Structure 1
Amino acid sequence: MKTTRKLAWAIIPLAVSVNLYADQQILDDLVVDGSACIGQDCVNGESFGFDTLRLKENNLRIKFQDTSNSSSFPTNDWQLTANDATNGGANKFSLDDIDGGKTPFTIMAGAKNNALFVASNGKIGLGTSLPVVEMHVVDGDSPTMRLEQDGSSGFTPQTWDVAGNETNFFIRDVTNGSKLPFKIRPNAPTNSLYIDTDGDIGLGTASPDAQLHVIDSTSTNLSTSSVLVENTNAARNSVLLELAHAGNSYLKMSNTEASPTVAFWLLGSRQDGTFSLTNNVGGQVFIVDSTGNITTKGTVTANNVLLTSDVNKKENFQTINGTEILGAISKLAISKWNYKSQSASEQHIGPMAQDFYKLFGLGGNDDKHISAIDSAGISLAAIQALYDLNMKKDQQIEELSNRISDLEMKTK
């Protein structure tokens, strides 16, 4: 075991020559019972105050020079540096990687209190000595974290800021005009935006059941919307919502009541080129084909219904024979009935589409439908034929009346 030795210097004889500038090598432990000053500007009678070790000169460095000579041992040299050695250099304290020629850690003079604080529990405070989470950033105005890709690896430079203040939490695209593509306002509801483990996104819910699931508990009437898609561009024509699919594409509207009359409606485009309205009760109840022909499974109640009848939109005109139509109508069976999808109390009067098609060769898209415009046209043609027939009858009656009057005059 090594022991501490205190050297008591005797009076050196004047005849002994002493080199005061020679290096001193101590081949044992060195214990200094007091303070030590190292540097060219240390003076006799140095006032240390509470300093135990003082470095004092115009270039202050502590170098850790590893002399390991085996390839299996680390040999990197490090240095603690106080201030740059050049005129106009930085007032700073740094840790230098001597062998690597890098300075991974620097503190600039004037840094505020607790600029970097590591608590006993490992939490890091930036601007605070009381970090309450793993990384706690404190500042008086918009504490910010910057992510800067500087181009040193060959990629396009790009800088982002992540920050927050009393107005909002935001992400700022610094490179492109400091735009703010993402914001969260203070007091936003819980789960305003939620991304589940399967990638489903919830707006207002932490249990999204679809790729995008919106829950709204604020809309109470028809003047407010749960989802609003608005185009503020001055262009008059714009597609605000598109549903795209290789097959049938539907918009589903469900009634979540306990026992709804209709649980859901499907509004969609079908592979056969038709546009349809379908529900879980009556199936496909309304169809519009590619040319605008409309087929409905139920009845149509007219209320200012306008049918396109512009002569400029028609062609292949043919003259009809009203008398023949009137004769055909006399053969048309008219009965009273109800649709199978309706109750027996919902009665209607009319012909069967098959009979109508057989007699007139007209009827929607096939022999199972009757076009409203065709039935109206047949009725008008029949009315004209009846009018002509009545006019002829009236003329015959008038002629007979005149002949009777002439005979009566002759017999007198």
Structure 2
Amino acid sequence: MTKVRLSALALLGTTTGLVGLQTQTAHADIIHADDVIIQFSLCVGNDCVNGENFGFDTVRLKENNLRIHFQDTSGSSSFPSNDWRIVINDSSNGGDNYFAVEDSNTSRQVFRVDAGAPANSLRVDSAGDVGIGESNPIVELHIQDGDSPTVRLEQDGSSGFTPQTFDIVSNEANFFIRDVTNGSQLPFRIKPGADTDALFIAADNDIGIGTDSPAAPMHIRRSTGGFLSMIELENNGPVALIMDNNDASTPVEWRIGQIPGSTDLVFVTPDAVGDEFKLSTGGNLTITGNFISGSTTLNVPDYVFSEDYELRPLNDVRAFIKANSHLPEVPSASQIAAEGLDMNKMQMVLLKKVEELTLYTLAQEDRILALSEEVQRLSR
């Protein structure tokens, strides 16, 4: 049966005194050649009834297939002419319940709200802030949920690129990025309570950890005081710290770390034969080159050979050794055990003792020569 669509005025009757009203047969359209003003409510649809209870409704659409079609009849190609439609629910048995805005030229629903959506599923406040699950959005986009509010970024492969999905999630345990495609790994996490500038990237790409003023490509700062491990390298196998100078004129690469099959700490260049520097787990240090100390604080004991240097008499040295069981100025075994051994200072002390021993030997040589000459004189 053909639907009959009447205006509210037509529902009142076909009084011939109404201006601009043309009445025709029941199956004919009713055309008004003037504006139509309805001062009360309007019901449109097959299921509207006489005495409709509108409540506070001003306009009501009432039938089993509800659609509002916006058909743009612009004839020139320079004017926009796309058609749109508001669609309420599927028209098929067992279909979905929803409110949708349809691009009618392509039959695509570009906006849709399913029935049963919770309150404030989408809220735009007077400042233009958008709330998702939030009735009073505080920032430009405010997402609220009772358990782990999540933003999903999904590349579906429709443009020819490999599908990939990431989630950005926040909850009471942490803020994290989840690689959904690859086993829901969590490559990035922040625990609640992390300090300001826990991770900072400057405009020149320097990275600060604990500082917003990194002074190097990687700058780590802590203010807890006391002994603190600042960097820890951990692997299920040998690890290395690589320093690579890729300047073509002076290329060199140094590695500090472990060599597979060894527990020693080594300092090598990749093309070196053997280890340049090795520290064993037992505390032994091995170097293949020379050990050179260029400290300007070393007091080299050349002063021993000055004419005004007072060489300790051997009787005094003998008495000191008998009382202390070590040479004067040389640290004792107990002192070394308690304080460790300063190699630079020890080398200078030993050099001084060698130089003093040389002076003792020269003095003894002079005395031996003098006694030999005296013996020869007395034997004549």
TM-score, scaled relative to structure 1: 0.59
Q: Which residue of the partner structure matches residue 109 of structure 1? A: 115
The one of 295, 299, 303 equivalent to 1:343 is 299
Q: Is the 8 Å Cα contact of residues 248 and 268 (structure 1) preserved in structure 2?
A: no
Query: Does residue 296 in structure 1 map to residue 296 in structure 2?
Result: no
Write the mapping of 1:255-334 to structure 2, written as runs, cut at 5 A: 292-297=288-293
The one of 21, 24, 27 equivalent to 1:21 is 27
Structure 1 residue 95 displacement after superposition: 0.3
Aligned-partner Cα distance in 2 for 1:230–1:272: 25
Aligned-partner Cα distance in 2 for 1:268–1:57: 84
The one of 158, 166, 169 equivalent to 1:160 is 166
**Structure 1's 32 and 116: CA in aligned 2 closer, same or farther, altered over 3 A?**
same
Aligned-partner Cα distance in 2 for 1:272–1:69: 78
Query: Does residue 69 in structure 1 map to residue 75 in structure 2?
Result: yes
Structure 1 residue 139 displacement after superposition: 0.5
Query: Does residue 131 in structure 1 map to residue 137 in structure 2?
Result: yes
Q: Which residue of the partner structure matches residue 264 of structure 1? A: none
Q: Which residue of the partner structure matches residue 146 of structure 1? A: 152
For the residue of structure 1 that corresponds to 2:112, the secondary structure is strand
Write the mapping of 1:167-316 to structure 2, written as runs, cut at 5 A: 167-221=173-227, 224-231=228-235, 233=236, 235=237, 238-246=238-246, 247=251, 292-297=288-293
Aligned-partner Cα distance in 1 for 2:224–2:297: 37
Per-residue deviation, residues 230-273 of structure 1 (Å, max 9, x unmatched) = 22x2x4xx12322222445679xxxxxxxxxxxxxxx9878996
Q: Which residue of the partner structure matches residue 93 of structure 2? A: 87
**Structure 1's 230 and 69: CA in aligned 2 closer, same or farther, altered over 3 A?**
same
The one of 28, 42, 45 equivalent to 1:39 is 45
Q: Which residue of the partner structure matches residue 282 of structure 1? A: none
Q: Which residue of the partner structure matches residue 376 of structure 1? A: none
Q: Which residue of the partner structure matches residue 352 of structure 1? A: none
Report percent identity of matched pairs. 48
Structure 1 runs of 4+ off > 3 angstroms? 5-12, 246-251, 267-276, 344-349
Q: For structure 2, list consecutive stretches of 5 or more residues without a partner in the other structure.
A: 1-8, 18-22, 256-265, 278-285, 306-346, 348-380
Residue identity matched to 2:241: L
Structure 1 residue 346 displacement after superposition: 7.5
Residue identity matched to 1:226: M
Q: Is the 8 Å Cα contact of residues 248 and 269 (structure 1) preserved in structure 2?
A: no
Structure 1 residue 295 displacement after superposition: 3.4
Q: Which residue of the partner structure matches residue 398 of structure 1? A: none
Q: How many residues align?
A: 269
Per-residue deviation, residues 37-72 of structure 1 (Å, max 9, x unmatched) = 111111111111111111111100000000011111
Per-residue deviation, residues 322-373 of structure 1 (Å, max 9, x unmatched) = xxxxxxxxxxxxxxxxx98622558789xxxxxxxxxxxxxxxxxxxxxx9x
Q: For structure 1, list consecutive stretches of 5 or more residues without a partner in the other structure.
A: 252-266, 277-287, 299-338, 350-371, 373-412
RMSD: 3.4
